[in-house]
């Protein structure tokens, strides 16, 4: 329908057709309520466009389409190699449309265009291609028990999967979830974050173009408290996969329990980065900067608590401040020299500023930043990269996830103290250790309570390696071969070969 798309010209001059409807059963439809969501450009606070917001009735339609597709021979009966080929085709289409997709991400989200194009979109295509290669390699096994029994297992699709993605990496998080779900033969109802509704709608057209049958992937926008709750509560959805805050994750767990859905959660973090006296200090500083300041600090695994052994603490702080000054260029995300764009929304911008005031009031030392950044035409949700030192473990800024360009730095004396303090948190997503003593590195990696430990790096995740947390940072794993486990059920088949009663 022509009234479910608009012609837009992005700030970088790229013209494209932006879908605005709900993508259900390979067709664009309007929300039954007529409700709309307006996307705001965080760089200058102007409206980009409005898209349809799904309500419970629209979720019902999407789920019905997904259930029908799950049972249809066009998907259920498709050869696994053909299913994989569809995913490979989609990966190629993502690459062909990478400049447009990156443009939408930057316009809608605020992340630097060069990052969206050269990092995020490569990850999207790579993830789809990786799991497309797995589609014909998912199989059960024969289990030898006795001559009287022939036993084997089948790995079958979980069913209809509800997937709820966050606003910090809209397309990458969609790929992380769509990849394993589709490789295993599931069908999907996926909802974008209401803050960043645009790029996944463009992706929906590519899914249809790749040749996926109707109903296999259904794409909705909508508010979390309406569409998100409807997905989590739906009795005909078999699995929920969610990435977002721990508080929302808890609510999704409660809601999804209505029919004991299979669940995967990737939630919050307050990840520690430990720097020992023997570390390569220059490298530790560079990686620590990447680990917290990339993507405007809006990373669930951001190593936002930096603990530095007291022998190198002062040097580390001085070098880190200099690196922030030299590297963290704040500005228009469409300019090549920009390292840091705006926060995604006014609400997130104000939240970070609130934590800055909390840090000041609690007595931490403000070493850099600590204010709104107004040098980009005086508009936008920009925050100066912020560094607090002399931070105590009891402080709010040390304990709570902030999700901004905001780091706290503290000193420690011994390895035992560092590990104890690193683990003194309700979270357990990422962590980093810097030392040139590999024995120490392996020992500390074993002792840290986290789903991931980077040794002499930070946040250099890889689609081939499992990603996930412990404690209140989530349930289950995404990426790597481990990411497939959440999207299949194992069925055991027992064949009596001669036991008679």
Catalytic residues: 266
Phi, psi of 99 (to 5 degrees): -65, -40
List residues bridging with 143 in a β-sheet: 151
What does the radius of gyration of the chain's CA atoms come to, in whole angstroms?
24
Q: Which is nearest to 155 in space by CA: 489, 495, 484?
A: 489
- Dig out the tokens for 322 from the structure: 């200099």
Pairing of strands 272-275, 305-309: parallel
- Cα dihedral 425, 427, 428, 434, rounded to 10, equals -50
Contact in structure between 445 and 423 (CB atoms under 8 Å): no
Q: Which is nearest to 398 in space by CA: 497, 490, 307?
A: 307
- Dig out the tokens for 146 from the structure: 């006795």
Q: How many CB atoms lie within 10 A of CB 160?
A: 26
- Dig out the tokens for 276 from the structure: 């020992």
Distance (Å) of CA 121 to CA 42, 104, 117, 297 = 20, 11, 5, 19
Q: How many CB atoms lie within 10 A of CB 16?
A: 17
Q: How many CB atoms lie within 10 A of CB 73?
A: 8
Q: How many CB atoms lie within 10 A of CB 350?
A: 13
Phi, psi of 200 (to 5 degrees): -70, -25
Contact in structure between 320 and 387 (CB atoms under 8 Å): yes
Query: Among positive and negative, which fits the CA dihedral 455, 457, 459, 464?
Result: negative
Helix (H) or strand (E) holding 162: strand 160-164
List residues bridging with 49 in a β-sheet: 39
Q: How many CB atoms lie within 10 A of CB 491?
A: 11
Distance (Å) of CA 204 to CA 140, 188, 364 = 32, 12, 47
Give the span between the Cα atoms of 123 and 21, in whole angstroms.
26
Contacts of 347 (CB under 8 A, 6+ apart): none
Q: Which residues of 251-276 are buried (b: 16+ CB within 10 A; e: fewer)?
A: bbbebbeeeebbbbbbbbbbbbbbbb
Q: How many residues does the chain have?
A: 501
Contact in structure between 129 and 84 (CB atoms under 8 Å): no
């Amino acid at each position: 329908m022509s009234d479910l798309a608009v012609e837009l010209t992005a700030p970088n001059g790229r013209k494209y057709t932006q879908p605005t409807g709900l993508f259900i059963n390979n067709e664009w439809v309007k929300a039954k309520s007529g409700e709309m969501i307006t996307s705001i450009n965080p760089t200058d606070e102007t409206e980009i466009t409005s898209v349809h917001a799904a309500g419970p009735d629209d979720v019902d339609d999407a789920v019905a389409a997904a259930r029908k597709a799950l049972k249809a021979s066009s998907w259920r009966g498709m050869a696994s190699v053909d299913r994989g080929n569809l995913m490979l085709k989609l990966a190629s289409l993502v690459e062909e449309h990478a400049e447009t997709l990156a443009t939408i991400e930057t316009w809608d989200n605020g992340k630097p265009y060069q990052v969206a194009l050269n990092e995020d979109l490569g990850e999207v295509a790579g993830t789809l291609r990786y799991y497309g290669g797995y589609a014909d390699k998912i199989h059960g096994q024969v289990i030898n028990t006795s001559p009287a029994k022939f036993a084997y297992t089948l790995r079958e699709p979980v069913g209809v999967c509800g997937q709820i993605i966050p606003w910090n990496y809209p397309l990458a998080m969609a790929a992380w979830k769509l990849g394993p779900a589709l490789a295993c033969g599931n069908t999907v109802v996926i909802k974008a974050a209401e803050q960043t509704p645009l790029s996944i709608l463009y992706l929906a057209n590519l899914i249809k173009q790749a040749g996926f049958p109707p109903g296999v992937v259904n794409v909705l926008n909508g508010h979390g408290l309406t569409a998100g709750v409807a997905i989590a509560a739906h009795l005909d959805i078999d699995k929920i996969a969610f990435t977002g805050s721990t508080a929302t994750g808890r609510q999704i767990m409660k809601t999804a329990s209505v029919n004991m859905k299979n669940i995967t959660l990737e939630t919050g973090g307050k990840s520690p980065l430990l720097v020992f006296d023997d570390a390569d200090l220059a490298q530790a500083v560079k990686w620590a900067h990447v680990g917290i300041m990339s993507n405007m600090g809006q990373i669930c695994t951001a190593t936002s608590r930096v603990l530095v052994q007291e022998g190198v603490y002062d040097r580390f702080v001085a070098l880190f401040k200099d690196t922030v000054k030299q590297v963290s260029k704040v500005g228009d995300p469409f300019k090549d020299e920009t390292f840091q764009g705006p926060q995604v929304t006014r609400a997130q911008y104000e939240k970070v500023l609130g934590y800055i005031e909390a840090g000041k009031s609690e007595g931490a030392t403000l070493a850099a930043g600590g204010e709104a950044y107004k040098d980009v035409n005086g508009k936008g949700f920009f925050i100066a990269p912020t560094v607090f030192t002399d931070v105590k473990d009891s402080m709010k800024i040390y304990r709570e996830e902030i999700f901004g360009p905001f780091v706290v730095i503290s000193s420690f004396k011994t390895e035992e103290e560092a590990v104890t303090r690193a683990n003194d948190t309700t979270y357990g997503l990422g962590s980093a250790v810097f030392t040139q003593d590999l024995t120490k590195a392996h020992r500390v990696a074993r002792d840290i309570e986290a789903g991931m430990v980077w040794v002499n790096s930070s946040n250099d995740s890889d689609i081939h390696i499992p990603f996930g947390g412990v404690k209140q940072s989530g349930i289950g794993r995404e990426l790597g071969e481990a990411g497939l486990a959440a999207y299949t059920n194992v069925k055991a088949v027992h064949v009596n070969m001669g036991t008679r009663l």
